[in-house]
Every structure is written in structure tokens, then in C-alpha cells.
Chains A and B, each alone.
Chain A
Amino acid sequence: MKHILIIMIMVSTAVVAAYAVDSTKPSTHNNYWLYKHGQAAKANEAECLMCHEERVECIECHEDMPPRSHTSTFVNRTHGLESRWKKTSCQTCHREDFCTACHETAFPKSHMKQNFKGGTNTHCGLSCQLPVGTWTNTVSKNCIVCHQTRPQLQSGGLHSIR
């Protein structure tokens, strides 16, 4: 088995070594093009469209598919943190409509708790998306991520602030 494996590696290496693939991409398209292509496109978009006339590559990253950095950790927790310092990075693809839309539709896990809405002290101690504490140590700061006005109680008064 070991020998077969070695032979396979040898054959595949020989096949690979037989090719020297020419790139048709400009020399600017190296590993740092990620950081630079935005300004280059602003300076001369027509040059970009000579090859990318269907705009597939633009749509790919800026409109269609989240990057690998948007892990489930990012989606559930850390995007809020990062948006506080990487705003200009967020703005590459997102505007405020995206933030607002998701925070209106994606219910945090904490909100699935029984009697979350109704009972006294059943919802004010929970953080956004994942529970990370009790009501005594996480005050309403987490609520305002989505609920940006003080809610009205069933009794008619405004919700108190802890």
C-alpha cells in the first residue's frame, strides 16, 4: 500500500511538473491586491471592466457571499464588537439597511426563554444572541442593539432602566 502511495505521488508530481501555467492577470494582482483594488477601481473602472465585464468578481465579494471571516462566531457574537472599530471595513459591503433588517428579523437565542416577554426580570438580564450573564450584571445596554427606544409596558408606562 505504501508503495502504491509513493508511485501515485510520483505520477502526480510528474504530471504537475509538466505544466507551467501562464497567468493572464496583470502583475498588480498579487496577494495585496485585496487592499488596493478598491482605489484602483475608483481611479479607472473602465480598465477593470475590460476583463470583468460581467462584474462577477465584484458581485462575488461585495454583494453575494460573505467572506470566510464571517464565521458563526462572528454572526452570533463578535460582529457587534468588530463593527465598533472596523466600520469602514463593514461599509465596503454593508449599509445601515442590512444591520437594521437583521436585527429586526433574527431573534436571539435568549429570547426563546420561557416567559421571556411576560414575567418580571425574565428578559432584562440576557445579552444579544447568546446568554452571557444574569440580569444583575448585564443591564439594558444589550437591549438597545435592536430596541432603540424604551419599550412601553402593558400598564402604559415606560420600561424602567437598570
Chain B
Amino acid sequence: MKWISKYKRLSILSALFVLISYSIPVYAYVGDAYVTPDSWSRHLSAYGVKSSINGLDFGDSGTLKIGLTTRAQLRYADEDDWSIYQYAKLRLGGSKVGDGVINMNINVRGAYDDMPVIGDNKYHQFYDGLYTARKYNEFTRSSENMDGDFRIYQANIELNKVIPLTDVSLGRIYLTAFNGYKIDGVNIKIDPVKYLNLNLYYGLPVSYYSNLKTQVAGVSFEIPVEQSGTKIRGEYSYFMHEDGGDLNTHVLHGRIDQSLNFTDILNASIYAEGAVIGKAMVYDIGLEANIDKSKTGISAYVMGQYDKNDGAINPYVSMYESLLSGEREYVMGGVMITQGITDYLMLGVGYEGRFNFNEAYGDRDYHRVFGNIDLVGLIHRNNYLSLIVDYYKVAQYQRLDENAQIMGGFRMTQVFTDKIEAWIGVNVQNYQYHRSPVKLYQWETLGQITNQNLLNENTTVAYIGGMWQVTDWCVLQLDYTFEYADLFKAQDMQPESHTVEMWANFLW
């Protein structure tokens, strides 16, 4: 019996040790109290492709980074689905040539999906973007017959200052973040003087889902004034469609950024952006401010669309047209305030609202309020916990009653070592909506919607996962997601679904 009492004492000591360890708060991240862990984005998606860590250094010949990742996804519910993805990345950076450097980037993805053959009219619960992409194998740019999926995210060569004052990018490239265009083509950047640079570009816009039949040519300028913290930019692009006519679209874009820095008092940035897309004009004005002493952050914006396009518009810039975005004028805005209370507690609240000036194809006005409570290193050293709530109230329409969506849950990440992290989270989404998802605006006088019963449905998502950097060149990740959906239960389908994703990264 003596050994039992020993264990009892040990148990009490252990419990005390655990209690003390968990109750003494320690900064999770030295010097950056509210910075989230590296794997925090796993709460947004289970993505597990890693950036290369060090690369292979070849001196003046550059640094070579290689990444190979295998991803397997298994999903179970009434129906099953599995997919295997293979990623390959390669970047050779900093190869010196004369006074300049050469960089090369390749980032590709191959995928196999066990979904039914496209075109056989079989329904599958797990239809997704991969299935859709398979029909439009973008690598061929035009084929609709090829099965399988192969994507080139980027494949380019950059010649920076190899030619004096000039940077040349060639291949599948991203143009500036200003517009987010990705093209197969060329961009030439010229820096004639300190306070001006020019970009000239031409190419074929990239889509993974359709043949855009479009070319784009454009020019942009940037005037950075370091002393005043000002940056002025402008851009003109002309999108040319094979079919011509209204599908040839002019896009004019401008933006001013102004930073305001008062040491130890205020760091702020203000921006104003506008674009003319065909006949439509869109604008976006915003403010981002941080008051370090009071640990306060303020963000605000107003954006909208002024005037509209009456006719067709090039499909690559049609985000302001037709199905995805409606074709009418609107204004929306939002404000978010974050407040650090202690070194371990941060609160955030926000509001967002949208008003449409005309009732167009399904556009809806809404009010949104959201908030976070973030606990950093309070529960335990290197622990990050966030409680979230997000509420949308969608205003009633001429023939549609109001909708609502509310989401609540928590996200937690624990950093065990600099090589092991784990995450867990739960989200509950509640939808209150009526039967009709689409407003029948052009035919509304021809029929009556007789049954608009309110549906009130929950979807619960719970997930848990972990990442382990086995060596400098090997990172493994496992993630499991559980979903319970009232929607499927109401249809006499299995309401639970299970998803397991496994990732293996090999990085040099």
C-alpha cells in the first residue's frame, strides 16, 4: 500500500505543477504580445504547403529553394471523395549577372480527383473547385476535353537591373497588387529617376476555369515620395477580346497612399483609390491607425460603385457586372476598433453595412457586426485563444423577406516548440433564410411566390490538427474536420461529414 500513497503524493504534486504552470501567464512571443503563431492561418483553411526555410546557397550564383509537397484529402458522408495533390516549387533567387540579379520562380500543382467523369450527369455532394477546374484544364488554355488538373501558379524569370534602370519579368507573372492581374506575358519596369517608376505590360490573363479569349496591354506609373510618406499611382489597361465589340474594355485605375507617423503617438495610413471600368466607376477610401500607447487600433473604409455598365464587358474584369456582383450602384462601409486591455487580452469590435441604390439581380443591403476576444499567453505560455462572433442582418427585399446569419466559436493554437504546433477550433453557423435564393426580377409580374417559409438551420464545424517540422527539410501536417449540417438532415441525408487531410513537405 505504501507505493499507492507515493503515487497519490505524486499525483497531487503533478496536479499542482500543472495548475501553477497554466495559471502563470507568460508572453507567448517575446516582444510581440499580440502576434499570432505561424500556423494561425490553419484556422482559415487546412492548407499545409510550406515555404522553403533556408534554401541552398550557391554564392553569386544565387540561392536555390526547392519545395515538394504531397497532399491527400479524404472525405466521408453519404458519399465519399478523395483527392491527391502534388505541389512543386522552385525559386532560384539572387543570381548575379553584371550589376543586376536574376530570379526564377516555378510553382505548379497537379491533382487527381476520384470524382465521376465530367459530363455523366451524376450528382456528388462534394462537387468543388477541383472538379470544376478539371473541365477547363487551364494549361492548354482552350481544351475542354482533358481530364485531370494541372495548374501553373507562376513560372517566370525576373531580370532585375541586368539592363540598367530596368526590371523585366517574363512568363506567368503577377502584376502589381494594385489590381491583382495574373498574366502570361511580360512586364517591364523602368526606374528613370528616384521618384518615378513606370511599368509596361502585355499578356494573356489567366483563369483556371474558362478560356477568357482575352489579351491585355497596359501601362502604370508610381511616384513614391519618401520624405512625406506619399505614394501616387496610376494605371491604364486595355482588355481585348476575340469577339471584339463591348467585350473590349478600358480600365483606368488610380490610388494615393499617405502614411502618418508620429513616434510613440500615432502610426496611420490613409488611402484613396478609384477605377473606371468600362462605364462604371468604383471607389475605395480608407484609414488604418494605431495608437501604440493606448494599444488601440482603428480601421475604417467606404467603398462603392458609381454609375454602371449598360452593355457587355470583358469577362476578366466583369467582377462588377452580372452574376457575381450585380450591375447597380452601391455604397458600403465599415469600421473596426481593437483595444488591448492587458498584455494578454485584446478586444475587437466592428461594423459593416451596405446599401444598394437600385434593386438589381439579387443584390441585398445588410448590416454586419462582429467581434473578437483574444487571449494571448494567458491560458498557457505560447497559447493563443480567440473567441469570435459575426452577425449579418440582411434587409428585406421587394419580394424576399429578411435573412440573417450568425456565427460564433473559438480558435486556439498551442505552440509546443519551434517545430511543433497544434490547433483546434469550433464554428457554429446559423442561417435564417427563405426558400428562394434568387430574386426573379425580370419576371416578377408573371408569378407569385407562394411559399416563403423561414428556414432556420445550423452548420457546426469542428477541427483539430497539428504540424511537425521533423527536420529542416521535412514538415508534416495532419488535420481533421467534422461538419454537422441541419440542411442535410432535413433532406434525409447523413448530416455528418468527416474530412482528413495529410500533408508532407520536403523542402530545400
Q: List the interface of chain A (C-beta within 8 A of B).
A: 2-3, 6-7, 9-10, 13-17, 19-23, 25-27, 29-36, 39-45, 48, 52-57, 59-61, 63-69, 71-78, 80-88, 90-91, 94-102, 104-109, 111-112, 127-128, 130-133, 136-142, 144-145, 161-162
Residues of A within 8 A of B184 (CB): none
**Do A98 and B363 touch across chains, with their CB atoms under 8 A apart?**
no
Q: Which residues from chain A contact B210 at a C-beta distance below 8 Å?
A: 97, 100-101
Which 3 pairs, one residue from A and one from B, show the smallest C-beta to C-beta distance? Answer: A137-B451, A101-B209, A141-B440
Judged by a CB distance under 8 angstroms, whether B228 is at the interface is no
Are A68 and B336 in touch, CB under 8 angstroms? no
Complex CA gap A108/B437 in Å reads 15
Apart from A73-B483, A84-B364: 12 A-B pairs, beta carbons within 8 A: A13-B22, A19-B416, A20-B30, A45-B177, A55-B174, A80-B437, A81-B433, A98-B129, A111-B123, A130-B487, A140-B440, A144-B438
Instruction: Please count the residue pairs between chain A and chain B whose beta carbons lie under 8 angstroms apart in the complex.
Output: 339
Which of B236-244, B321-329, B469-477 touches A? B321-329
Partner among B34, B41, B315 whose Cβ is within 8 Å of the Cβ of A57: B41
**B296 contacts chain A at the CB level, 8 A cutoff:** no
* Residues of chain A with a CB closer than 8 A to B322's CB: 96
| Max chain A Cβ within 10 angstroms of own Cβ: one of B93, B121, B303 | B121
Judge whether B415 and A21 touch: CB under 8 Å.
yes
CB distance from B156 to the nearest CB of A (A): 11
Given contacts A54-B52, A87-B326, contact A31 B346 (CB under 8 A): yes
Q: Are A32 and B415 in contact (CB under 8 A)?
A: no
* B487 pairs with A54, CB closer than 8 A: no
Beyond A19-B382, A23-B29, A42-B177, whether A71 also contacts B485 by CB under 8 A is yes
B residues within 8 A CB of A161? 443, 446-447
Closest approach, in angstroms, between the C-beta of B21 and any C-beta of chain A? 5
Closest beta carbon of chain B to A45's beta carbon, Å? 4
Q: How far is the CA of A162 from the CA of B440 in the complex (A)?
A: 11
The docked-state distance in angstroms from the alpha carbon of A65 to that of B483 is 18
> A26 — which chain B residues lie within 8 A by C-beta?
32, 35
Whole-angstrom distance from the CB of A147 to the nearest CB of chain B?
12
Are the CB atoms of A39 and B325 closer together than 8 Å? no
**B403→A81 contact, CB < 8 A:** yes
Contacts A42-B271, A102-B132, A144-B440 given: A64-B47 contact, CB under 8 Å?
Answer: yes
Q: B220 at the A/B interface (Cβ < 8 Å)?
A: no
Contact B437 A3 (CB under 8 A): no
Given the complex of chains A and B, what is the CA–CA distance between A109 and B121 in angstroms? 9
21 contacts between A and B (CB under 8 A): A6-B18, A13-B21, A14-B17, A20-B382, A26-B35, A32-B336, A44-B231, A56-B67, A57-B51, A64-B47, A65-B47, A68-B44, A68-B427, A71-B429, A73-B487, A81-B431, A96-B315, A101-B209, A102-B132, A112-B121, A161-B443
State how many angstroms separate the Cβ of B296 from the closest Cβ of chain A. Answer: 12
Is the Cβ of B299 less than 8 Å from the Cβ of A36?
A: yes
